[in-house]
Structure 1
Amino acid sequence: MEEVKRKGARSTKDIPTWVLEQLNRGEIETANLVEWLAVNQTKLLENVLKESDRMEYLDPILTDVRNLKKQTVNTINEAIGTGILAESILNNDSDILSIISKHKSDVVRCWSAYTIGKNQEFKIEEILAQIQFLAADKHFGVREISWLAIRSSIIRNLEESLEILLSWTSSEDENIRRFATEATRPRGVWCEHIEKLKQEPELSLKILNALKSDPSKYVQDSVGNWLNDASKTRPDFVKDLCEKWKKESATKETLYIIKKALRTIEK
């Protein structure tokens, strides 16, 4: 059975046993968010380390997971990725980073995002260069974690990040174009807010203008959500920009973005 044709269960209790076992062995990808949340990441880690003959990495990483103040799917994901990075540095083992970045399991590739985002040796240009292949990943979960994993680095290096991400808006890949707005949403989802962009959304104007008529609905949704975020602190900026776009670019794509952008203002 090809996983791309498999429909995910609607609730955890409906996930077939064989699917859960294969997910925890890293043999298939998750089909939806329900499956992604159901993966036992510590079991998966053990299987990945056994498979790659690195079982000595297991206990230190599991200790990090146990020491988490709050254990959620995302915090465990981050702790495992950060732990793998620490073990790779300690053991001078770059091969493990390569193994997880290309792994069959989408959850394992999510860990890979944190080995990039948490690497203190990387400057922002290198972080963004390294994360791009995960930003373009075919799996929704990997794409989301790719921006979550580096968001704190983007915030610390905001203007430089925006300049680099502007060049991503001309990519042929809609996932990479979408990353430019999704990673920099002023409020975002399940993540730290970008206070500077909440107060000064103008800093992202070049990126927003570059994507205002993007043909991809995936990108349009992200741009609309970016502006909706900004409307909660700077409604003047969002209203003025939408008016400007209506006059200059009244395409169906732009009008769709404007509708999403103004949804809080027009409540």
Structure 2
Amino acid sequence: MVQHLLGRKGAARIALIPAEVLDALNEGLLPTVNLNEFLALDLARLARRVAGQVGLPPDHERLSDTLAMLAAFRPVKRHEHVARAFYDLTQPRADRDAIAHALATHASDVARCWAAQWVMFAPLPLARKLEAVHRFADDPHFGVREVAWMAVRDQVAGEVDAAIGLLEPWVAHPRDNIRRFASELTRPRGVWCAQIDALKREPWRALALLEPLRADPSRYVQNSVANWLNDASKTQPQWVQELCDRWSAQSRTPQTAYIVRRATRSLASLTPP
């Protein structure tokens, strides 16, 4: 039983992670609670355990070959390779949907991340991919939510206007995780991901997503919108300033004031004293 470990605070250093916690993480029984736990994982052990738990052969050659080469990749990229191996193992199987569901609902956040990354590999149109990633965009774990938007980022970068149209209902969703997903997915620069050159050049193309969020009640969403505009300010500073000035005049709320203050932080650093 691991129930007593669920409410823990993550260790400040990898060396301080209790053996009981690390063992449960590597057995796929617990979600990670911070970056240190994520980095401390024995990925090969976890992958084999999860494979067996969802109905895949843990010693299959396809998975074993992937695990043998993981050291050659950066930590985040290693997970993409594991996810791809799992995806490939299900291709010839009639119970593929059941395996996908088991992975998507697994106790380990890392396993659910792998399930979210399956969306990246699926030969689906963007609309279908967004439908498939929706559950992961609202996952209770922050790490899964980040992987969710990264899984469709490249396709969005190539279909900007279509993506914005498809995401308009998302910014009106009652769940803040879903609203934040639409903003974070379309950030012109983003973090650890492909840049969206079209929105760096013409950020106003995404106004249909930004305008409904200008006074969002969720700080999680506010931060994403502010970061979106801060990204845009690197290439279109005048437009961002004008937009923020208009928002400040039209929406005199603490939420908008917070977004504007954070959105213009790079602009402020360029302003002469």
With structure 2 as the length reference, what TM-score do the two structures score?
0.93
Aligned counterpart, 2:229: 227
Deviation (angstroms), 1:12: 0.7
Which letter maps to 2:85? G
Task: Give CA deviations for 1:96-134 in whole Å, capped at 9, x if unaligned.
Answer: 2111001010000000011112111x1101100110110
1:33-44 superposed matches below 5 A: 33-44=35-46
Counterpart CA distance in 1 for 2:54 and 2:259 is 46
> Are 2:117 and 1:117 aligned?
no
Question: Counterpart of 1:262 in structure 2: which amino acid?
Answer: T
Structure-1 separation of matches of 2:54 and 2:203: 46
Give, in whole Å, the separation in 1 of the partners of 2:212 and 2:189: 21
Whether the 8 Å contact between 2:188 and 2:228 is mirrored in structure 1 is yes
Aligned partners of 2:48 and 2:59 also within 8 Å = no
Contact 2:54 2:103 in 1 (8 A): no
Shift of 1:231: 0.4
TM-score (normalised: structure 1): 0.95
Q: CA deviation at 1:140?
A: 0.6
Q: Is the contact between residue 9 and residue 34 of structure 1 (CA under 8 Å) also seen in structure 2?
A: yes
Contact 1:131/1:146 (CA < 8 Å) preserved in 2? Answer: yes
Contact kept, 8 Å, 2:48 with 2:58, in 1: the verdict is no
Distance 2:106 2:114 in 1: 10
Contiguous gaps of at least 5 residues in structure 2: none
Q: Secondary structure at the match of 1:90?
A: coil
- Does the 8 Å contact 2:150/2:193 carry over to 1? yes
Higher mean C-alpha displacement, 60-69 vs 242-251: 60-69
User: Against the structure 1 CA distance between its residues 229 and 69, is the aligned structure 2 distance closer, same or farther, given a 3 Å change threshold?
Assistant: farther
| Long gaps (5+) in structure 1 | none
**What does residue 257 of structure 1 align with?**
259
Is the Cα contact below 8 Å between 1:26 and 1:104 reproduced in 2?
Answer: yes
Number of the residue aligned with 2:103: 100
Deviation at 1:10, TM superposition (A): 0.8
Equivalent residue for 1:212? Answer: 214
Residue aligning to 1:157: 159
Tell me the distance in 2 between the aligned counterparts of 1:97 and 1:24: 20
**Which residue does 1:189 correspond to in 2?**
191
The AA in structure 1 aligned to 2:175 is D
1:198-220 residue CA offsets vs partner (Å, 9 max, x unmatched): 11101111111010000000000
Q: How far, CA to CA, are the matches of 1:254 and 1:75 in structure 2?
A: 36
CA shift in 2, pair 1:12/1:263, >3 Å: same
Correspondent of 1:168 among 170, 175, 178: 170
Task: Give 1:83 deviation, angstroms.
Answer: 1.7
Cα 1:8/1:96, change in 2 over 3 Å: same
Matched-pair contact (CA < 8 Å) for 2:180–2:220 = yes
Deviates more, 1:163-172 or 1:83-92: 83-92
Task: Report if the CA contact (8 A) 1:159-1:203 is conserved.
Answer: yes
- Alignment-derived partner of residue 92 in structure 2: 90
Partner of 1:23: 25
